[in-house]
C-alpha cells in the first residue's frame, strides 16, 4: 500500500533563517506531488505541484521554492523565512491529475 511521510511535524524558526521540509512517498511510482499551505483557521492554498522529476510548477509567487530530486521525493525550501510564512504545510500525492489527493500529516511551521 502507498504511504506518505512528511517531516518534521513541528518547526520553530527565526525570521530570515532557511527552511527545508521534506516529503517522500512509498508504494507508487511517478506520482503527482503537491505542497499546500494552510494559515490558521483558513483554507488550503496550493503552492507547488510536480508531475515528474525536475518538473515543478508554482502557483503563487513567494519566497518559497520546491524541488523534486527523485521520483518520490518533494522538498519545500526557503532561503529567508518571513513571519507570513508561518502555517501548516501539507504535502500530498495523487496517481494522476484529477484523482484523489492523499495528504501527509503536515508540518506546523512557526516563524518568530
Contacts of 54 (CB under 8 A, 6+ apart): 68
- Residue from the set 11, 44, 53, 56 that interacts with another protein by CB under 8 A: 44
- Are 47 and 36 in contact by the 8 Å Cβ rule? The answer is yes
- Does residue 97 belong to the site contacting another protein (CB under 8 A)? yes
Is residue 66 a contact point for another protein (CB under 8 A)?
A: no
- Does residue 56 touch another protein according to CB under 8 A? no
Pick 64 or 91: Cβ nearer another protein: 91
Q: Grid cell 509567487 — which residue?
A: 61
Pick from 24, 33, 75, 106 the residue near another protein by CB under 8 A: 106
The Cβ of residue 57 has, within 10 Å, a number of other Cβ atoms equal to 10
C-alpha cell of 105?
500529516
| Choices 11-19, 65-73, 74-82, 103-111; region in contact with another protein by CB under 8 A | 103-111
At residue 79's C-alpha, the angle toward residues 78 and 80, to 5°, is: 95
Q: Which one of 19-27, 37-45, 62-70, 73-81 is the stretch in contact with another protein (CB under 8 A)?
A: 37-45
Amino acid at each position: 500500500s502507498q504511504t506518505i511521510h512528511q517531516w518534521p511535524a513541528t518547526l520553530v524558526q527565526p525570521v530570515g533563517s532557511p527552511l527545508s521540509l521534506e516529503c517522500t512517498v512509498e508504494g507508487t511510482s511517478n506520482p503527482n506531488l503537491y505542497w499546500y499551505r494552510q494559515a490558521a483557521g483558513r483554507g488550503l492554498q496550493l503552492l507547488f505541484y510536480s508531475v515528474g522529476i525536475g518538473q515543478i510548477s508554482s502557483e503563487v509567487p513567494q519566497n518559497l521554492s520546491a524541488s523534486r530530486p527523485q521520483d518520490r521525493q518533494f522538498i519545500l525550501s526557503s532561503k529567508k523565512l518571513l513571519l507570513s510564512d508561518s502555517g501548516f504545510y501539507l504535502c500530498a500525492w495523487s496517481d494522476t491529475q484529477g484523482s484523489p489527493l492523499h495528504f501527509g500529516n503536515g508540518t506546523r511551521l512557526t516563524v518568530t
